[in-house]
Amino acid sequence: MGKAWGFGKHGGPEVQEFFDRPDPVPGRGEVLIRVGVAGVNPLDYLLREGLVPGLDGGRPFPRVLGMEAAGTVLALGEDVDGLGVGDAVFGFALTGGGTYAETTVLSADNTARTPAGLSAAVAATLPVAGTTAVDVLDQLDLPAGATIVVNGVGGGVGLAVARLACARELRVIGTGSAAKREHAEAVGVRFIDYAAGDVVAAARELVPDGADGIVDLVGGTSLRTVARLARNARNVIAVGDASVSDLGGRFVERRLDRENLERSARLALDGVLAPVISAVHSLSDAPAALATVENGHTAGKVVIEVA
Ligand SMILES: NC(=O)c1ccc[n+]([C@@H]2O[C@H](COP(=O)([O-])OP(=O)(O)OC[C@H]3O[C@@H](n4cnc5c(N)ncnc54)[C@H](OP(=O)(O)O)[C@@H]3O)[C@@H](O)[C@H]2O)c1
């Protein structure tokens, strides 16, 4: 039996609740873990609101929040290769276990060993933000010296994209609110405060001929505004807003497999994917952790330290 935090029905923060649940039994291709640290993501509250039925449809309530975690393997289901009891691991809870909990099940194919020297807190940020950054930049596939604009650079994915892009010797312009300037400039980003004036005009002062790529983490009107900076519409990649295809751009193609997790862990060990963890909450403080992300202006990553 373990403590978990989730929701009894779809809705706003008022449907959230703590409850006790028996340790989940790992099914075929799953591992049961003791959660060390859970990452907090916008997708968590979108699932609570019932806005992503393809990802949680049909599971009984109450449902546990959270998609990513690092922890220690307690038991293996059938057909699990490459992981053993006692291993430190990190990965995705894709089969409905949730990760804001003392124990949960991860999908073994979407879980990797946490290498020695990598903290559980950093490992817990890699499944969502780390591998998304890898995927976005692989798909853009721009040469050193090219310029990208990262729209929403100060959040979990934005700072990861910026760090990885700088390591690939891309020139990075990033947009965010004034509070994100310091984080972004520390990574090497030329920062534009979107509240201070016309973002497109400010960016054109830096790249008069436009940018080689746009990575959008904001969506909506902001995406449509910033997309005007792209020299080639196909190199507008959105991570959260699929309507980017209406502009001729692409929605990120995600690779959630172990190989991509291992790759992001190596980049983290090398200091390339070094996340800014702006807040560490306890499980009993999970409501505050998710509220921080739900306000839409997170700096870097927020995590919940469970054990
Ligand atoms: N497809 C996938 O697999 C996948 C994976 C990861 C994330 N996502 C999605 O990608 C999006 C970003 O994720 P995230 O984890 O980075 O979220 P996050 O940590 O909440 O960061 C979003 C950032 O955008 C900034 N922002 C808000 N409005 C802005 C504007 N008008 N212009 C520029 N910046 C603005 C926010 O702070 P400030 O306003 O203070 O600058 C915040 O730092 C979410 O929609 C998420 O669901 C999708």
Q: What is the CATH number of the domain that holds 111?
A: 3.90.180.10
Residue 121 shares a structural domain with residue 52:
yes
In ligand 1, the atom with minimum distance to the C-alpha of 132 is 5
Question: Is 124:68 a contact under the CB 8 Å cutoff?
Answer: yes
Average pLDDT score over residue span 211-227: 98
Instruction: Give the per-residue pLDDT at 106.
Output: 97
Same domain, residue pair 100 and 148: no
In a shared domain, residues 191 and 300:
no
Going by pLDDT thresholds of 50, 70 and 90, the confidence category of residue 56 is confident
In angstroms, the CA 268 to CA 123 distance is 8
Residue 217, ligand 1, Cβ within 6 A: yes
Mean pLDDT of 161-166: 98
Q: What is the mean pLDDT of the chain?
A: 97
More confident residue, 118 or 55: 118
Query: Percentage of the chain with pLDDT > 70?
Result: 100
Residue 80 Cα, ligand 1 centroid: separation in angstroms? 34
If you measure from the C-alpha of residue 11 to the centroid of ligand 1, how many angstroms do you get, rounded to a whole number? Answer: 21
Strand 213-216 and strand 250-251: pairing? unpaired
Distance CA 215, CA 162 (A): 10
- The residue assigned the tokens 């390339």 is 272
Tell me what pLDDT residue 178 has. Answer: 98
CA-135 nearest atom, ligand 1: 3
Q: Which pLDDT value is given to residue 57? A: 62
- Weakest-pLDDT range from 40-54, 248-262, 281-295: 40-54
Our answer on whether the CB atom of 128 is closer than 6 Å to any ligand 1 atom is: yes
Which CATH number goes with the domain that contains 233? 3.40.50.720
* Ligand 1 centroid, distance to 130 Cα (angstroms): 14
Would you state the pLDDT for residue 59? 82
User: Which range (52-56, 162-166, 299-303) has the least confidence?
Assistant: 52-56
Residue appearing with tokens 């950054």 = 133
Determine if ligand 1 sits within 6 Å of the CB of residue 293. yes
How many whole angstroms from 156 Cα to the centroid of ligand 1?
Answer: 7
Would you say the CB of residue 125 lies under 6 angstroms from ligand 1? no
For ligand 1, whether the C-beta of 132 sits within 6 Å is yes
* CA 287 to centroid of ligand 1, rounded, Å: 19
Q: What is the pLDDT of residue 55?
A: 80
Same domain, 59 and 102: yes
Tell me, using a 6 A CB cutoff, whether residue 52 lines ligand 1. Answer: no
**Paired tokens of 173:** 């312009």
Same structural domain, 121 and 142: no
Cβ proximity of 217 and 175 under 8 Å: no
Instruction: For residues 272-281, give the mean pLDDT.
Output: 96
Provide mean pLDDT across the span 201-224.
Answer: 98
Identify the pLDDT of residue 187. 96
* Domain boundaries, position 289: 2-125+275-305
The residue ranges of DSSP E strands in 200-251, in sequence order, are 213-216, 236-238, 250-251
Number of domain units in the chain: 2
Strand 277-282 and strand 301-305: the pairing is parallel
Q: Give the residue, by CA position, lying nearest to ligand 1 atom 12.
A: 217
Task: Judge whether 65 lies within some domain.
Answer: yes
Q: 10: Cβ below 6 Å to ligand 1?
A: no
Beta carbon of 130 within 6 Å of any ligand 1 atom: no
Percentage, residues of the chain above pLDDT 90: 95
Is 268 a domain residue? no
The Cα 201–Cα 85 span in angstroms is 55
Same domain, 39 and 150: no
**Is pLDDT larger for residue 1 or for residue 152?**
152
Q: What is the rounded average pLDDT of the residues 189-202?
A: 98
Do 46 and 59 have their domain in common? Answer: yes
39 plus 69 within the same structural domain: yes
Mean pLDDT in residue range 260-277 = 97
Q: What is the pLDDT of residue 307?
A: 87
Q: Which of 297, 301, 303 to mutate to test the pocket of ligand 1 (most atoms within 8 A of CB)?
A: 297
Return the pLDDT at 53. 79
Residue 48 host element (H or E): helix 42-48
> CA-CA distances (angstroms) from residue 231 to 99, 103, 152, 169, 261?
41, 48, 20, 19, 32
